[in-house]
Structure 1
Amino acid sequence: MNNEYNLSAKEISQQYITMLTDWLPSNSSIAIAVQDTYIYFHSGHQSIHLEVGQQVQSGSIAEKVLNTKRRTDAILDNSLFDTPYYGIGYPIYLQGVPAALVVVLPSTFTIQKVDPYQFLTGKQDEDWNPVAIEKISHIESLQKKTWFYVEGEQFKTSITLKELQMRLPSSFIRIHRSYIVNIHFIKKMSRDLTSNFIVTLKDGSELPVSQSYTNNLRSALEF
């Protein structure tokens, strides 16, 4: 893309931003991608990792919008963000060229509009078992499947960890890309030989805490 195109695209992009900021929460982020590159980015999140000129990632909302020319929404994991966010992508045109406008809303905005889960239904052998959410000690993503644990028993659910994090009560904390834990089942927190935190549950299970989620745990448990 030449400089003249870039200048015009920025001017048009700014018009979209001006309109969107009238109704978006102040901590929302907005990105515009043309072809395979982000040409505009406004961040409302301190934890967002995206820059003008960055390539559109495979599987992202922007890529899906550019490929399908349709509105797309999804819960975003921490590939670009430290914590999950809700994103909506819209197909637009800049000087006749297909583009994607992506609005990223903070997870708290989505949670306020969706009731938290009261129970999860898990599969064990050939049976499906509804389980009250407060009985679940932790949830794990393993081999592209999601499992939750109740008194040592393992149940499988079709709901992903990303989706669960947006709909679980505040007593559930994401501590790792693969784990969500119910703080009511935590016995203690300690450090391993590499100074990373380990969460020990009341049943003796030990779960790692990744560095990107350490602040989540510290904030929730105030230590």
Structure 2
Amino acid sequence: MKKKALHQFTVLLEDWIPKDASIAIAVGQKYVYYRVGTHDIHLKEGQTVQASSLACRIIQKRQKLDSLMDNTLYGTPYFGIGYPIEIEGQPAALVVILPPNYHVLKNGPFRYLTGKKDEDWSPIPIEKVMYMESLQKKTWFYADDEQYSTTYTLKNLHLRLPDSFIRIHRSYIVNISFIQRISRDITSSFILILKDSTELPVSQTYMNEVRKILGF
């Protein structure tokens, strides 16, 4: 299909696609169209569709998908909404590319976080959550001396948490309100001691951001 025809196809969708979105169309193993919007992930027409990309998953599963994508594939994180389409008889994908905080702006920050303990689910006010942890391929959060599991990943949680939460490690997000003091360990890295005496490490990756936010 010629580029002009592909562009006309996307124009028909402008009523429901955000005007600042980038749009990519993939057919088979190649991207055949890319319209740059405000959030540009620098795709190129003719570029190979990578196996872990949103477009690849849509073509394989033939269903609408949305996902927060990190910077592993294209160097720029984004929130993608993809739709299965067909072009000249071939399975294809149309991917709407938006800023990574798009779903935060759309849905707002969490007010409650529903967690599972044993076989029960409980909605916990977000201000009561002390910290969150990624452990053994699951995500956990801690509130009122109880441990709960959640279906969200830390990455998705981080984008929808209020400003009182800070990412300190690939495995931890902490509620600043529960930090009692900040110390150094023998390697000169920071350790956060929480009000219940829990100790959480601050990794080098997040060190500068933690110091900037907490102002020390």
Q: Which residue of 2 aligns with 1:154?
A: 147
TM-score (norm 2): 0.71
1:63 aligns with 2:56: yes
- CA spacing shift, 1:140–1:220, aligned 2, 3 Å: same
1:185 aligns with 2:160: no
Aligned to 1:200, which of 186, 192, 203? 192
Query: What CA deviation, in whole Å up to 9, does each residue of 1:158-200 have, x standing for no partner?
Result: 333243234322322334443322233344487985x9x6452
TM-score (norm 1): 0.69
CA distance in structure 1 between the partners assigned to 2:9 and 2:211 by the alignment: 38
CA distance in structure 1 between the partners assigned to 2:210 and 2:9 by the alignment: 37
Q: Comparing 165-174 with 140-149, which one deviates more in the overlay?
A: 165-174
CA distance in structure 2 between the partners assigned to 1:121 and 1:180 by the alignment: 16
CA distance in structure 2 between the partners assigned to 1:39 and 1:215 by the alignment: 40
Identity of aligned residues (%): 47
CA distance in structure 1 between the partners assigned to 2:166 and 2:9 by the alignment: 36
Aligned to 2:82, which of 76, 89, 102? 89
Unpaired stretches in structure 1, ≥5 consecutive residues: none
Unpaired stretches in structure 2, ≥5 consecutive residues: none
Which secondary structure does the structure 1 equivalent of 2:31 belong to?
strand
1:102 aligns with 2:95: yes
Please tell me whether the aligned partners of residues 177 and 210 of structure 1 are also in contact (alpha carbons under 8 angstroms).
Answer: no
Which secondary structure does the structure 2 equivalent of 1:137 belong to?
strand
Aligned to 2:138, which of 134, 145, 169? 145
Q: Which residue of 2 aligns with 1:75?
A: 68
Letter of the 1:72 partner, please give it: L
Please tell me whether the aligned partners of residues 29 and 49 of structure 2 are also in contact (alpha carbons under 8 angstroms).
Answer: yes
Please tell me whether the aligned partners of residues 53 and 73 of structure 2 are also in contact (alpha carbons under 8 angstroms).
Answer: no
CA distance in structure 2 between the partners assigned to 1:83 and 1:138 by the alignment: 27
Which secondary structure does the structure 1 equivalent of 2:85 belong to?
strand
The size of the alignment, in residue pairs, is 211
Please tell me whether the aligned partners of residues 136 and 148 of structure 1 are also in contact (alpha carbons under 8 angstroms).
Answer: yes
Q: Offset at 1:147?
A: 0.7
Letter of the 1:114 partner, please give it: N
Letter of the 2:127 partner, please give it: E
Query: What CA deviation, in whole Å up to 9, does each residue of 1:68-105 have, x standing for no partner?
Result: 33322233344347786431112234444332111122
Please tell me whether the aligned partners of residues 158 and 167 of structure 2 are also in contact (alpha carbons under 8 angstroms).
Answer: yes
Please tell me whether the aligned partners of residues 129 and 143 of structure 2 are also in contact (alpha carbons under 8 angstroms).
Answer: yes
Q: Which residue of 2 aligns with 1:37?
A: 30
- CA spacing shift, 1:101–1:128, aligned 2, 3 Å: closer
- CA spacing shift, 1:214–1:84, aligned 2, 3 Å: farther
RMSD over aligned Cα, in angstroms? 3.8
1:133 aligns with 2:146: no
